[in-house]
Amino acid sequence: MPLLTIATFLPVLAGLVLMVLRDRSARVAHGVSIAATGATFLLTLAIWARGIAPGGFAQVEQITWIPAIGAAYRLGVDGLSLPLVLMTALLFLLCAIYSARIKEQAATYVVLMLMLETASLGTFLALDGLLFYVFFEVSLVGMYFMIAGWGHEERQRAALMFFLYTLLGSLPLLLAIIGFYLGTGTFDMRAWIGAPPLSGLAAMLALIAMLFTFAVKTPAFPLHTWLPAAHVQAPTAGSVILAGVMLKFGTYGLIRFAYQMTPEALAQAGQVVLAFGVVSAIYGAFAALAQNDLKKMIAYTSVNHMGYVVIGVAVAALAADPRIKVIALDGATLQMISHGLVTAALFFLVGMLQDRAHSREMADFGGLLGRVPWLGWAFILSAFASLGLPGLAHFPAEFQIFLATLDTRPWGVIALVGIVVTAGLYLRAIATVFLGEAQDRWAKMPDLDLRERLVVGPLLALTVLVGVAPGWLIGMIHATMTGLVR
Q: What confidence tens digit (pLDDT) does each residue in 66-88 have?
A: 888 888 999 999 999 999 999 99
Q: Is residue 309 within 8 Å of residue 218, measured between CB atoms?
A: yes
- Does the residue 326 lie in any domain? yes
Confidence category of residue 473, pLDDT binned at 50, 70, 90: very high
Q: Is residue 202 part of a domain?
A: no
Q: Would residue 460 count as lying in a domain?
A: yes
151: DSSP letter: -
Q: What is the pLDDT of residue 401?
A: 94
**Main-chain phi, psi angles of 110, to 5 degrees:** -65, -45
- The whole-angstrom separation of Cα 18 and Cα 120 is 20
Asked if residue 306 belongs to a domain, the reply is: yes
Could you tell me which of 133, 326, 279, 125 has the C-alpha nearest to residue 214? 133
Q: Which residue has better confidence, 335 or 226?
A: 335
User: Which pLDDT value is given to residue 364?
Assistant: 86
C-alpha 252: how far from chain center:
9
Does this model's pTM top 0.85? My answer is yes
Neighbours of 391 (CB within 10 A): 12
pLDDT-derived band at 188 (thresholds 50, 70, 90) equals: very high
192, part of any domain: no
> Does residue 440 fall inside a structural domain?
yes
Whether 281 is in a domain gets the answer: yes
Q: Which of 180-189, 288-297, 433-442, 474-483 has the lowest mean pLDDT?
A: 433-442
pLDDT at 486: 62
Region 394-408: what's the mean pLDDT?
92
Q: At residue 206, does pLDDT exceed 90?
A: yes
List the single range of 49-58, 80-89, 293-302, 319-328 with lowest mean pLDDT. Answer: 49-58
Mean pLDDT of the chain, nearest integer? 91
CA distance 293 to 313: 31
The whole-number pLDDT of residue 411 equals 86
Distances (CA, A) of 48 to 3, 44, 127, 212: 10, 6, 18, 32
Instruction: Say yes or no to pLDDT of 33 above 80.
Output: yes
Higher pLDDT, 1 or 14: 14
Query: Of 215, 313, 329, 327, which Cα lies nearest the Cα of 266?
Result: 313
Give the whole-number percent of the chain exceeding pLDDT 90: 65
148 has pLDDT over 70: yes
Helix (H) or strand (E) run with residue 367 in it? none
For residue 232, what pLDDT is reported? 82
Is 70 exceeded by the pLDDT of residue 342? yes
Q: Provide the domain count of the chain.
A: 1
Averaged pLDDT for residues 26-38: 93
- Rounded Cα distance, 438 and 123, in Å: 46
Q: Rg of the chain's alpha carbons, rounded to an integer? A: 21
Instruction: Give the 3-state secondary structure of residue 59.
Output: strand
Quick check: 55 pLDDT over 80? no
Q: Which residues pair with 97 in a beta bridge?
A: none
Of the candidates 425, 96, 402, 82, the residue with the CA atom closest to the CA atom of residue 237:
96
- Report the alpha-carbon distance of residue 276 to residue 284 in Å, rounded: 12
Does a structural domain hold residue 20? no
CA–CA distance, 426 with 420 (Å, rounded to integer)? 10
How many Å apart are CA 55 and CA 241, to the nearest integer?
Answer: 29
Whether residue 222 is predicted with pLDDT greater than 90 in this model: the reply is no
* Cβ(455)–Cβ(347) below 8 Å: no
Residues 6+ apart with CB under 8 A from 438: 366, 367, 368, 370, 371
Residue 412 has pLDDT above 90, yes or no: no
Range of the domain at 481: 272-486
Mean pLDDT of the 151-158 span: 80
